[in-house]
Structures are given as C-alpha cells and as structure tokens.
Amino acid sequence: MDNIPCPHAWAVLNSKNLMADEYCSDLFKPKTVVKTYDMPVDPLPDEIQWNIPTHISDEVVLPPRYKRPPGRPKKKRDKPLIELMIGKHRNVCSTCERLGHNRRSCTNEPRKKK
C-alpha cells in the first residue's frame, strides 16, 4: 500500500542478499527526501501583514451550545417486539432442557433422545 516492503518481505530480501532499495518506492529513498527539503520554505509573515477578506474577518465564531457529558454514551435503540415479549434471558438446562436452572442444579430426569 505504501510501496514499502512489509517486515516479512524484508526478511526474505535479507536472506537472499538482495538490495531492498530496488523494492521500495522512490518516494522513500534518501535522495528524494533530501530533494524535498532542498527548496527554501518561506515562513508566514507577521500577523499584521496578513490579507484577510472582509467576509471572513466579519464572521463571528461562537463556542458550542452545549458540552458533551463525560462517560460512555447511553444506548438508545428501539427494541424489536420479539425482544419485548420474551423478556430477559433465562437459564436452560442442557440435561432436561427446561427453563429456570442449569445442569449442575438439575433434579429432573434426563430427556430421552429420539
């Protein structure tokens, strides 16, 4: 994606004694990086010398109307009708397949398999 070999590819290149520069994009080679900073970069002039259009300087920027409360936001979703009708989850015994308990506390006979 970045035209740089991944760590696995680097390991293969090193084991085969191949030059990794041939497999990198020219953007990441030292010569290109030096050329990037070859040209002088002019800093911004002093704030007094800035040329700001009037329609931007006249615009008033206000802070947000409210602050977001701290903490994780609450879930706000509409539950489907089936979730509302069934209610909360209940334990199901894996031995007798009845509701309200699990197999450790089961006193019923095991259900016969068909």
Condensed to tens digits (0 to 9), the pLDDT of residues 31-80 reads 888 888 888 878 888 888 888 899 988 999 999 888 888 999 888 888 88
In a domain, 37, yes or no: yes
Is the Cβ–Cβ distance between 100 and 91 less than 8 Å?
yes
- Encoded tokens for 39: 């040209």
In a domain, 68, yes or no: no
Separation in Å, CA 108 to CA 29, 70, 91, 104: 75, 50, 15, 11
Residues 11 and 53 both lie in one domain: yes
Q: What percent of the chain has pLDDT over 90?
A: 7
Sequence-ordered list of residues with C-beta below 8 angstroms from that of 50, at least 6 positions apart, any chain: 44
Structural domain count, the chain: 2
Range of the domain at 88: 79-114
**Residue 73 counted as domain residue:** no
